Structure 1
Amino acid sequence: MARMGYGEEHEAFRRTVRTFLDREHEPYLKHYEAAGGLDREFWRKAGQAGLLGLAHTGGGDFTFYAIMSEELGRTPGTATTGSSLMADVATYILVNHGSDAQKDKYLAGILTGAWTQAMPLTEPSVGSDATAIATTALRDGDDYVINGEKYFISNGSGANLLYVVAKTDPSKGGRGMSVIIVEADTPGVSQAKIPMIGWRQGDTGALNFDNVRVPASNLLGVEGGAMKILMDTFLEDRIQIAARCLGAASRAFELTLDYVKERKVFGQRVIDFQNSQFVLAECRADIKITETMVDTAMIKLRNGEFTFEDGAILKLWATQMEGRVLDKCVQLFGGAGLMDDNPISRMWTAARIQRIYAGTDELQKVAIARGLMQ
């Protein structure tokens, strides 16, 4: 059945993403695990397949990113290798806020996978309250000098193009925050991978900036403009996360349905027990509700009607839904669902990340509650 709000070009792109992941990701999962994550060759192939720089090549239609995120969620191996291609959402920052010179310098390489991106914002002691960051980028003649630490950064250890959020005027708090482009091989930049219980071969990084000197022309947008840039990306980020949750829950449900139709207990299939049928019905309802929410969000985003509260509600619901569905799927698998070589076990573990990163459940509730108090 055709999804609401998707045209033929969107469905054609979905098939392209699915084909790429089936060909270039799943068969090489053991290789990526041994290598410690996705390599440059994967990014190069993604560029050849037309999966990078969609903010530029897709005419700014975020639907393409949502489709890619959903298909990543449907790929069991991404429970091990992490958000991967979704780091390319950072291209929206460059396209919407970068200067012509910055676009000329970086966009072509982004499209081929030569440049891979990350947005270092979170710090070791600063999570949801972005305005509390301590990293500084202080003007010194024609340069900015950056000092500070960043932590829990998606694509952080492997990215070679960094959009660093720092305070160019610490006295102004959030209004003194700016985004500075830093190439990762700049002297003073160090990157390291953070081991995680979910996305074990994913790229979650820690970065350190020790007197990193970059030209003032690397300022993205205007000084003090970081909060506007961040707010402009939050809405899209909420949708892509929800789409990934939808894809993961859908795939887990399919794997579980196949399993319970084959597995027998006390002489009958697991699916023949009424309890199993009720659990599966609950999962099916959760998934269909979330599908409608994601598709509606895409339509509202295109129409300029998707609000910050809408994004908070969507992320809160979708991430909790994924957790519920994956937990029920593991229960129906029984002991087999806890085996490390069973995809469902890794998908279950990875689902827990979604309720924490990119804004915790509690932060989404605060955003929703603020609207009620006006």
Structure 2
Amino acid sequence: MARLGYSEEHQAFRHTVRSFLDREHEPQLARYEAQGGTDRDFWRKAGEAGILGLAVTGGGDFTFNAIMAEELGRTVGSATTGSSLMADIATYILSGHGTEAQKDKYIPGILTGEWTQAMPLTEPNAGSDATAITATALRDRDDYVINGEKYFISNGTGANLLYVVAKTDPAARGKGMSVIIVEEGTPGVTRHKIKTVGWGCGDTGALNFENVRVPVTNLVGTEGGAMKILMSTFLEDRIQIAARCLGAASTALALTLDYVRSRKVSGQRVIDFQNSQFALAECRADILICETMVDASLQKLRDGQFTFEDGAVLKLWSTQMEGRVLDKCVQLWGGAGLMDENPISRMWTAARIQRIYAGTDELQKVAIARGLMG
């Protein structure tokens, strides 16, 4: 079925991403598992394939990012390596708010995969409420001196270009937050990978900044302007997460259909039981609804009509949808669905993180309720 809102250029890009993942991601999964995740070579090859820096090469059309997210979700390996390539949406921070000097310095390397990005925002005691962060970046003549901890950071240990969110004016709460670039190798930065239940080889990192000194020219946007930058990024992030959920649920259903067509119980194929057919039908309906929501959201984003409430509804529904579909699929696999050798088990485990990270279900409900209350 043709999907609305996608041009021939979009479809060609989808083919490019699919070919790259089939070539450089899925066959390499055993190696990534052995070394604990993807490596810099993976990013360089992504650059060679032309799928990085889409905020620049895609002309600001976020549909290209959503396509990459959906195709990444469709790979069985993404349940192990995590969001990986989606860290590239941080390019929107630089392209939309960086100085010309910053763009000239970093964008060429972002396009080739030499620069990989992360946005250290979340802290051990500041998750859903971004304004509660305590990391500081205090001015000392021509430098900022950064101190504080960051936690649960996607691409946190592998990235060599960090957009650190810290308070340049701690007394001003949200209005005192700024985004400052810190490059890999800057003295005072230490980091380590956090082991998680899902995304066993994903790069979720903890970072510590101790008297990290960077020039004031590393400020992105204006002092106190972090919330404006973050709000625009959050809108786009909601769509890419939903697209990834859509891709994962679609692959889970396809894997399950293959399994129930061949697996027999008491001499009868599992798919021939009415209960199995009802569960599969519910999965299919959920996936089609999510597909429509993602495509409509992209259209609203292109038209400048995608709101924060829209993003909350989309993230809440799509992540819960993925959880429902994966749970039904695992149930149809029976005991085999819990075996690590079957990708469905890792996909089921990985789906759980979606309802927590990048804004919990509860936070989305708060945003929706505020809209209802006017």
Q: How would you bin the TM-score normalised by the shorter chain?
A: over 0.9
Q: Deviations over 1:254-298 (max 9, x none)?
A: 000011001000111000000000000000000000000000000
Normalised to the residue count of structure 1, the TM-score between the two structures is 1.00
SS for the counterpart of 1:46 is helix
Distance, in Å, in 2 between the alignment partners of 1:228 and 1:95 is: 14
Determine whether 1:169 maps to 2:163.
Answer: no
Q: Which residue matches 2:370? A: 370
Distance, in Å, in 2 between the alignment partners of 1:178 and 1:278 is: 51
Determine whether 1:249 maps to 2:235.
Answer: no
Structure 1 residue 145 displacement after superposition: 0.2
SS for the counterpart of 2:242 is helix
AA at the equivalent of 1:157: T
Q: Deviations over 1:63-119 (max 9, x none)?
A: 000000000000000100000000000000000000000000000000000000000
Q: Which residue matches 1:337? A: 337
AA at the equivalent of 1:231: M
Distance, in Å, in 2 between the alignment partners of 1:210 and 1:347 is: 37
Q: Which residue matches 1:291? A: 291
Determine whether 1:81 maps to 2:81.
Answer: yes
Distance, in Å, in 1 between the alignment partners of 2:71 and 2:341 is: 21
Structure 1 residue 184 displacement after superposition: 1.9
AA at the equivalent of 1:275: N
Structure 1 residue 176 displacement after superposition: 0.3
AA at the equivalent of 2:198: G
Q: Deviations over 1:193-214 (max 9, x none)?
A: 0001100000000000000000
SS for the counterpart of 2:198 is coil
> Superposition pairs for residues 200-219 of structure 1, below 5 Å?
200-219=200-219
AA at the equivalent of 2:361: D
SS for the counterpart of 2:27 is helix
Q: Which residue matches 1:35? A: 35
Task: Report runs of 4+ in structure 1 exceeding 6 Å deviation.
Answer: none
Determine whether 1:57 maps to 2:57.
Answer: yes
SS for the counterpart of 1:201 is coil
Distance, in Å, in 2 between the alignment partners of 1:7 and 1:267 is: 47
AA at the equivalent of 2:294: V
Distance, in Å, in 1 between the alignment partners of 2:185 and 2:36 is: 20
Distance, in Å, in 1 between the alignment partners of 2:136 and 2:120 is: 12
Q: Which residue matches 1:190? A: 190
Distance, in Å, in 1 between the alignment partners of 2:317 and 2:71 is: 19
Q: Deviations over 1:198-237 (max 9, x none)?
A: 0000000000000000000000000000000000111100
Determine whether 1:23 maps to 2:23.
Answer: yes
SS for the counterpart of 1:11 is helix
Q: Identity, % of aligned pairs?
A: 81
Q: Which residue matches 1:109? A: 109
Distance, in Å, in 1 between the alignment partners of 2:286 and 2:52 is: 31
> Superposition pairs for residues 228-267 of structure 1, below 5 Å?
228-267=228-267
Distance, in Å, in 2 between the alignment partners of 1:284 and 1:232 is: 32
SS for the counterpart of 1:261 is helix
Q: Which residue matches 1:276? A: 276
Distance, in Å, in 2 between the alignment partners of 1:184 and 1:150 is: 15
Distance, in Å, in 1 between the alignment partners of 2:269 and 2:95 is: 53
Distance, in Å, in 1 between the alignment partners of 2:78 and 2:281 is: 26
Unaligned runs of 5+ in 1: none
Q: Which residue matches 2:68? A: 68
SS for the counterpart of 1:60 is coil
Distance, in Å, in 2 between the alignment partners of 1:123 and 1:235 is: 21
Distance, in Å, in 2 between the alignment partners of 1:46 and 1:225 is: 31
Structure 1 residue 319 displacement after superposition: 0.1
SS for the counterpart of 1:27 is coil
Structure 1 residue 341 displacement after superposition: 1.0
Distance, in Å, in 2 between the alignment partners of 1:309 and 1:129 is: 17
CA RMSD between the two structures: 0.4
AA at the equivalent of 2:330: V
AA at the equivalent of 1:202: G
Q: Which residue matches 1:4? A: 4
AA at the equivalent of 1:312: A
Distance, in Å, in 2 between the alignment partners of 1:27 and 1:238 is: 29
Structure 1 residue 2 displacement after superposition: 1.5
Unaligned runs of 5+ in 2: none
AA at the equivalent of 1:20: F
AA at the equivalent of 2:288: K
Structure 1 residue 191 displacement after superposition: 1.4
- Equivalenced residues, count: 374
Normalised to the residue count of structure 2, the TM-score between the two structures is 1.00
Distance, in Å, in 2 between the alignment partners of 1:214 and 1:195 is: 30
Q: Which residue matches 2:302? A: 302
> Superposition pairs for residues 307-322 of structure 1, below 5 Å?
307-322=307-322
SS for the counterpart of 2:201 is coil
Q: Which residue matches 2:150? A: 150
Q: Deviations over 1:112-152 (max 9, x none)?
A: 00000000000011100000000000000000000000000
